[in-house]
Amino acid sequence: MQGDRPNVVTESGPYRGTFSMAWTAERPGNWLFHCHDALHTSWRRRFNLTGERPPQTPPMHDAAHHVEQDMSGLVLGIRVRGATSSSGRIAASDVPQRRTRLVVTEKPGFYGREPGYSYIASDAGEAARDSLEIPARPLVLTRGERTEITVVNRLAIPTAVHWHGIELDSYYDGVAGWSGNDTGDGARLAPLIAPGDSFVVRMTPPRAGTFIFHAHADDMRQIALGLYGALIVLPPGETWQPATDHVFLTSQMGRGPGSKAGLNGSAAPPPLTLAAGVRHRLRFINISLEDDADYKLRSDTSSTSSDASLVPWRAVAKDGADLHRDHATTRPAMLRIAPGETYDYEVTLAPGSYRLSVKSYNDFTVMIRAR
């Protein structure tokens, strides 16, 4: 954060409008700057001098070159020169303090003719090959803790995991064939994770907050079929308390005409019971392919659906960065969140019934009981 300017990862650009930003290149390697509306970076947006429509499949498609062949339109490659720390050798001071595994699983026919994919953390033991958790259960890390995540691919196709919004070495950023360093001696680029293979990700989260992990290979398909989850980084000494710390993740569920928007993997979310008189943290994430989501939280006993009936909440963070005191304000509980964004709010509810309404390309409501 620069003074009172917010430190964000994903910014929702106004229609036919502008916004300004400033950034400093701190980590060497190859990076991507791109729109998080997947249709705006599709190979279908590739510039064509003849004006002819592109073929229905990318020419000479090779998932190992996802950036060059699958991405086009609003995408910019950035190379930051300098010595990298991704040599593959681990110094004694870099030995991980935490090790975990993330298994990529597949279940045929989960979305009609399409399979379902998911990430399953396997700290507590191995999951069945066709087990699904959509979305993945939150992956909880600690700020400043050296962490090693082994991603095991049990899909029938290659994949890669991108750690959206968190600072880490370029090689582990998750864009196969691009992440890393391909200039000078010791050039090394991140590979795809082949079926049956694994890839070790190393990071030391520099800040606490709400982030996302998701597929970044054939991402329009793999994300739609379930490869996404919340990445939560806590301050040292804290543990995640799901009774008062809640994730609300909107996503696309499946592909094609029958697909729907979902909240935490469901188009009909179950009711929630929260402790009244207690401060709750609400972590909102949008990993939809192209759709904004509008949230509103209001008392269910209100006789009106106007914005005057909204309960108050306090904004505390955006994209994993705490808000400046001038922006960390109490306001009516409404939010518009675009793909790739995360927002954190705090709310304390009096005893009673509440409705959390969500509007996307299909709408749904979560009933909340505070007692």
Q: Residue 211's closest CA among 255, 247, 265? A: 247
Instruction: Give the pLDDT confidence score for residue 59 in this predicted structure.
Output: 46
Show the domains of the chain with their CATH numbers.
92-234 (2.60.40.420), 245-370 (2.60.40.420)
What pLDDT band is residue 317 in, cutting at 50, 70 and 90? Answer: very high
Summarised one tens digit per residue, pLDDT across range 166-203 is 999 999 999 999 999 887 655 789 999 999 999 999 99
Average model confidence (pLDDT) across the chain? 88
Distance separating alpha carbons of residues 362 and 112, to the nearest angstrom: 19
Instruction: Give the pLDDT confidence score for residue 13 in this predicted structure.
Output: 83
pTM of the model: 0.90
Cβ atoms of residues 366 and 269 within 8 Å: yes
Summarised one tens digit per residue, pLDDT across range 225-234 is 999 999 999 9
Instruction: Give the pLDDT confidence score for residue 49 in this predicted structure.
Output: 44
Summarised one tens digit per residue, pLDDT across range 143-157 is 999 999 999 999 999
In DSSP notation, 267-281 reads SSPPPEEE-TTSEEE
In DSSP notation, 51-109 reads -PPPPSS-TT--GGGHHHHHB-SSEEEEEE-S--S-SS---GGG--SEEEEEEEEEEEE
Distance separating alpha carbons of residues 119 and 131, to the nearest angstrom: 9
Cβ atoms of residues 187 and 179 within 8 Å: no
Cβ atoms of residues 151 and 217 within 8 Å: no
